[in-house]
Amino acid sequence: MSQEHFGMKIAVYPGSFDPVTNGHLDIIRRSAKVFDKLIVAVLNNTSKNPLFTVEERTELLQKVTSDLPNVEIDSFRDLLINYMKDKNAHLIVRGLRAVSDFEYELQMASTNQKLDENIETFFMTSTPMYSYLSSSIVKEVARFHGPVGDLVPVEVEKALHGKYARS
């Protein structure tokens, strides 16, 4: 019998995580308190031309969540709802920063619910100090050797320095 049949609330937090930021980590820590188990699922998307490979992204996530016993790191391909079926999970967590996130998030949540009526998406508003933060902005700063120590965990800062080493 699945864990959910025993009343366990399993949520999936999907994303690109290229790389994980302090904003993502804030959502992970807070939602790990709400759900019994949180699976952070990295999209293995070849079309997006990511900076970090899926292996690098999952490894970084593993490092920065190692103190959270009910958080599991995984990756998925193709449709999120198919992955969720495999995991027997029905709850999706997404972070909401500003109004600008809303339209895209509404579209995704509505599509996922249309594809599988049992899927529910929960939005967690970001802590205000992270509301401007994104993986793209972090990469932009790191690319030009700006300080990212306040934006990402130290393991990610090191990994970014590795990618953008001065030649």
- Active-site residues, by number, are 24, 48, 97, 135
CA dihedral of residues 92, 14, 24, 123 (deg, nearest 10) = -20
126 annotated ligand-binding residue: no
The yes or no reply on residue 108 touching ligand PNS (CB under 6 A) is: yes
- At a CB cut-off of 8 Å and minimum separation 6, what does 51 contact? 18, 19, 139, 163
Instruction: Report 62-101 residues binding ligand PNS (CB under 6 A).
Output: 79-80
Contact pick of 12, 16, 58, 160 for ligand PNS (by CB under 6 A): 16
Interface segment toward ligand PNS; rule CB under 6 A; list 12-20, 54-62, 121-129, 140-148: 12-20
87 annotated ligand-binding residue: no
Name the minimum Å distance from CB 116 to ligand PNS. Answer: 10
Nearest to residue 131, comparing CAs of 27, 18, 8?
Answer: 27
The yes or no reply on residue 106 touching ligand PNS (CB under 6 A) is: no
The yes or no reply on residue 23 touching ligand PNS (CB under 6 A) is: no
DSSP letter for 151, please: T
Interface segment toward ligand PNS; rule CB under 6 A; list 52-60, 107-115, 143-151, 153-161: 107-115
135 annotated ligand-binding residue: yes
Task: Indicate the residue type of 42.
Answer: V
69-101 b/e (C-beta count within 10 Å ≥ 16 → b): eebbbebbeeebbebbeebebbbbbbbebeeeb
Nearest to residue 15, comparing CAs of 59, 100, 68, 73?
Answer: 73
Instruction: Give the footprint of ligand PNS on this chain (CB under 6 A).
Output: 14-16, 43, 79-80, 108, 111-112
Q: Which residues participate in the annotated binding site for ATP?
A: 16-17, 24, 95-97, 105, 130-136
